[in-house]
Structure 1
Amino acid sequence: MEFLSLFSDPTVWVALVTLIVMEVVLGIDNLLFISILTNKLPVEHREKARRIGIGLALIMRLGLLATISWIVQLTTPVFTIADNEFSWKDLILIAGGLFLVWKATKEIHHSMDPVDAKDNIVGGATLTFGAAIGQILVLDLVFSVDSIITAVGMTPHVPIMVIAVVVAVTVMLLAANPLANFIDKNPTIVMLALAFLMLIGTTLIAEGMGFHVPKGYIYAAMAFSAGVEALNMFARNRRLRKQGAGH
């Protein structure tokens, strides 16, 4: 009854819609990483890996919501260096950002020099699948902490947070295969997506170091770059159609 009465307040609905939008936007980063990483797996394992990766994200976020009092404490400074205070959240963001920059750099190097065996994931399918899930889990943790702390800052109602997280992860689940297939069919998009991951990683490091970067600027830059690439793809496809018609 208390749960239903919560939704009689119009401000709760506003908070819910706003939080869902925020969670979906924040989930783009996670989904982009999962799409690129799972595309390196054998075709028969890709969809399963995406589902497991997104499922882990949901479990992790709901688990963090269950320990919300502990999550709030993650923003409490634990030590100071050169007048800069660092909390556990900052350390998690820095570690996640470094991992993302390292991963994106490694993948860009592999794209430029695909014959370099050192950059390939070696071993059988099980090891490859396990390595992919392990890396997805690391980034799930980083994005989940950021997501939940954002939710805590927007509403005090845990049921609202749970609904927003479930809706956002459901959207991720529905968008995972189309996004991954689109990236797989358009090789030039891979480099752009890796550049996005490097940008996101750098932003996470900056946030952890205490330099706030408005998310709007980041997503505006990503949208502009994606728009330019879309025009390039349109022009390239038009040229190919003309060449085909000429023959």
Structure 2
Amino acid sequence: MDFLTSPDLWVAFLTLFALELVLGIDNVVFISILTGRLPRSQQQRARIIGLALALVLRIGLLAVASWIVGLTAPIFSIGDAQALEFSGRDLILLAGGLFLVYKAVTEIHDKIEGAGEAHLATGVTSTMGKVIVQILLIDAVFSLDSVITAVGMVDQLSIMIAAVVLSIGLMMVLAGRISDFVNAHPTVKMLALSFLVLIGSTLIAEGFDVHLSKSAIYGPIAFAIAVEALNLAYRKKHEAGRTM
């Protein structure tokens, strides 16, 4: 009942919900690209499973929030003077960032070389199990970032879980449309893959304790999306003019 009557809790909930949504979009784009390698009949199921796993991971990590906070404590260091310290969180971010960069660069290479289209033409696609395992790996990285954000903003478990459940639920509703849009427009897919390289590089930098401003990352991304939206509108109008 305190939640319903407290303006402070409402502000905290809505702010956390918005942040979870922003953090979750990266996850949805990655899932969309991975599921695009599956047969059409399996893509929706894989997206739902992927987001459901993300939800379970987030709630599970929230339930052990004190352990999550402990992951920020240094485990080992490199060097004597001005030693570079690494925590459990740093190692997870490094591994996740490297995996994300590797997958995105591999997808870009396949697109440029035409390997993805060749696989589809010959009926060779990825398997559901392989895609789910890759989704689970990146879910773990994004979930950790999401939970650390939540723990840093709100101290009530019920508020954190409510914000996470609502944001994941909304992403489940929109995931199909986002996936169809990304896979239907090659230039958008290439842009999304480039974003994933940038985000993966950011995770690697944070793993080395180099913290970058979110506005410095998402600002250029927003600008690139706006430019691509103009390109899509231009191409659509140009193609409509040629068919008349």
Do Structure 1 and Structure 2 share a fold, with TM-score over 0.5? yes
SS in 2 for 1:212: coil
* Superposition TM-score, scaled by structure 1 size: 0.92
CA distance in 2, matches of 1:69, 1:123: 48
User: Which runs of 5 or more residues in structure 2 are unaligned?
Assistant: none
CA distance in 2, matches of 1:192, 1:116: 16
The offset of 1:160, in angstroms, is 0.7
Structure 1 vs Structure 2: percent identity of aligned residues?
Answer: 49
CA distance in 2, matches of 1:193, 1:228: 13
- 2:21 matches 1:24: yes
The offset of 1:123, in angstroms, is 9.8
The offset of 1:6, in angstroms, is 4.5
CA distance in 2, matches of 1:173, 1:117: 27
CA distance in 2, matches of 1:47, 1:102: 24
The offset of 1:242, in angstroms, is 1.6
Cross-structure match for 1:93:
93
Cross-structure match for 1:148:
147
Large movers: runs of 4+ above 3 Å: 115-120, 122-125
CA distance in 2, matches of 1:116, 1:188: 15
- Residue 116 to residue 227, structure 1, CA distance change in 2 (3 Å): closer
User: Which runs of 5 or more residues in structure 1 are unaligned?
Assistant: none
Cross-structure match for 1:75:
72
CA distance in 2, matches of 1:107, 1:68: 35
The offset of 1:113, in angstroms, is 0.6
- Contact 2:76–2:85 at 8 Å: present in 1 too? yes
- Residue 118 to residue 183, structure 1, CA distance change in 2 (3 Å): closer
Number of residue pairs matched?
A: 240
- Residue 81 to residue 118, structure 1, CA distance change in 2 (3 Å): farther
- 2:178 matches 1:185: no
* Superposition TM-score, scaled by structure 2 size: 0.93
Cross-structure match for 1:36:
33
Q: Which amino acid aligns with 1:165?
A: V
CA distance in 2, matches of 1:170, 1:158: 18
The offset of 1:115, in angstroms, is 3.9
RMSD: 2.0
The offset of 1:190, in angstroms, is 0.8
Q: Which amino acid aligns with 1:43?
A: R
SS in 2 for 1:55: helix
Deviations 1:1-55 (A, max 9, x none): xxx2354332111111111111101101101100111111100000000000000
- Residue 154 to residue 123, structure 1, CA distance change in 2 (3 Å): same
Deviations 1:53-112 (A, max 9, x none): 000000001111111111110111111123121110011011000000000010000001
Cross-structure match for 1:160:
159
The offset of 1:183, in angstroms, is 1.1
- Contact 1:110–1:119 at 8 Å: present in 2 too? no
- Residue 117 to residue 33, structure 1, CA distance change in 2 (3 Å): closer
- 2:127 matches 1:128: yes
CA distance in 2, matches of 1:56, 1:14: 27
The offset of 1:218, in angstroms, is 1.3
- Contact 2:16–2:150 at 8 Å: present in 1 too? yes
- Contact 1:78–1:86 at 8 Å: present in 2 too? yes
CA distance in 2, matches of 1:199, 1:220: 12
SS in 1 for 2:26: helix
- Residue 131 to residue 16, structure 1, CA distance change in 2 (3 Å): same
Q: Which moved more, 1:153-162 or 1:45-54?
A: 153-162
Deviations 1:179-211 (A, max 9, x none): 001112211111001001001100100111111
CA distance in 2, matches of 1:113, 1:183: 19
